[in-house]
Amino acid sequence: MPDIIQKLDDVMAQSILSVIARSRTSMVAGKVDWTADLRLALASEFDAGPAATPVSEGELARQALLVLAEDPDTRNAIETMADQPQSLQKFDLGASIALTAAVLMVLQTHVHFERGTDGKWSLKVEKKPTSEALLKGLVQKLLSYGK
């Protein structure tokens, strides 16, 4: 599966991530906005910082797909969409979701975000991924993403 995801071009990776994120937005409780406080909380929780070089949208999307692919049902959906790009057209209703919002949705499948009364974010890893390195890699790429 990692080979399939790594071979996706930037547009395809972002499109697949967008389809999956849109299908799950109703399952995610509460909207989490990408703020400086949340950036600091993620960096602290995962002991991660931005990479020396900026991360492309496609690279960030591919890393998010790698994390999502740990779930067998989602892996099957990713494989189907990767093998049949035309299938994206029937899933895509013309709406797109911002890449950062999609990545935060992916993180919410593993991490519970909570904002305290002081406005500070705290994080709790609720669902351990098979590979903590994939999740940490996603956080590092998100911190390196320029938007």
Report residue 106's pLDDT band, with 50, 70 and 90 as the boundaries: confident
**pLDDT digit string, tens, across residues 92-102:** 444 456 888 88
Place of tokens 């938007």: 147
- Cα angle 115, 118, 122; round to 5: 35
**pLDDT, tens only, 65-97:** 999 998 888 888 899 888 877 656 544 444 456
**What is the per-residue pLDDT for 96?**
52
Residue 92: what pLDDT? 45
Q: What is the domain range of residue 73?
A: 2-144
For the chain, the residue count is 147
pLDDT score for 94 = 43
Q: Both tokens of residue 10?
A: 């930037």
Note whether 85 and 11 are within 8 A (CB): no
Burial 65-83 (b: 16+ CB within 10 A, else e): bbbbbbeeebbebbeebbe
> Residue 146 burial (CB < 10 Å; 0-12/13-18/19+)?
exposed
Radius of gyration of the chain (CA): 15
pTM value is 0.79
Query: Domains in the chain: how many in total?
Result: 1
